[in-house]
């Protein structure tokens, strides 16, 4: 198995002014079949699991006809978890980690699937029909959990404890500064 290729000298840093990030940000491509990747390669965690110690990252799971924002929990096997159909699905195959860069990204409060006025969300994926999905962050049982949001979802969907939790208010969407 070949080690993943990371962007070189600027990995985990803001791109130079002449190189604006793409709408979905700079990603680290991974698969559940490859050897464990050190979590340091993922950048700063956006949250910690219920144990208060295990880092959680934001990412996108790659499906044949869609891409869904998800949580990446390296301490779980498989590490990629997707909220869908009322359940927390263990994704196997290709997924991308989005290293959180606080110099160019921020979590912005929102509700009901709305994109805050004047803000540009970080694209996290799309559904089979082409509808865009964005990265979201909600609190479930006191734990910050990444997931997905979109206007047509009317809220934020996250995978936690084996279930899909739908949060309508008081969650955040990842936006470009």
Beta pairing partners, 129: none
Q: What is the pLDDT of residue 20?
A: 67
Q: What is the pLDDT of residue 10?
A: 44
Name the pTM for this structure.
Answer: 0.86
Eight-class DSSP state of 52: S
Contact between residue 134 and residue 121 where contact means Cβ atoms under 8 Å apart: yes
Per-domain residue ranges of the chain: 28-176
3-state secondary structure 21-65: CCCCCCCEEEECCCCCCCHHHHCECCEECCCCCCEEEEEEEECCC
Q: Would you give the end-to-end CA distance of the chain in angstroms?
A: 37
What are the tens digits of pLDDT across the range 123-167? 999 999 999 999 999 999 999 999 999 999 999 999 999 999 999
Contact between residue 177 and residue 164 where contact means Cβ atoms under 8 Å apart: no
* Residues whose CB falls within 8 Å of the CB of residue 65, separated by 6 or more in sequence, listed in order: 128
β 87-90/80-84 pair status: antiparallel
Beta pairing partners, 149: 134, 156
Question: Is the pLDDT at 33 greater than 90, yes or no?
Answer: no
What are the tens digits of pLDDT across the range 75-117? 999 999 999 999 999 999 999 999 999 999 999 999 999 999 9
């Amino acid at each position: 198995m070949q080690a993943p290729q990371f962007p070189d000298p600027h990995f985990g840093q803001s791109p130079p002014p002449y190189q604006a990030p793409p709408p979905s940000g700079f990603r680290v491509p991974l698969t559940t079949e490859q050897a464990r990747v050190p979590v340091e390669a993922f950048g700063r965690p956006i949250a910690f699991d219920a144990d208060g110690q295990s880092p959680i990252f934001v990412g996108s799971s790659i499906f044949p006809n869609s891409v869904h924002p998800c949580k990446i929990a390296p301490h779980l096997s498989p590490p990629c978890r997707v909220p869908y159909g009322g359940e927390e699905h263990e994704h196997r195959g290709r997924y991308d980690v989005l290293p959180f860069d606080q110099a160019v990204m921020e979590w912005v409060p929102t509700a009901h699937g709305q994109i805050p006025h004047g803000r540009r969300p970080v694209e996290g994926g799309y559904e089979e029909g082409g509808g865009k999905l964005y990265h979201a962050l909600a609190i479930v049982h006191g734990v910050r959990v990444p997931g997905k949001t979109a206007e047509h979802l009317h809220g934020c969907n996250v995978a936690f404890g084996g279930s899909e939790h739908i949060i309508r208010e008081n969650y955040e969407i990842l936006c470009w500064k």
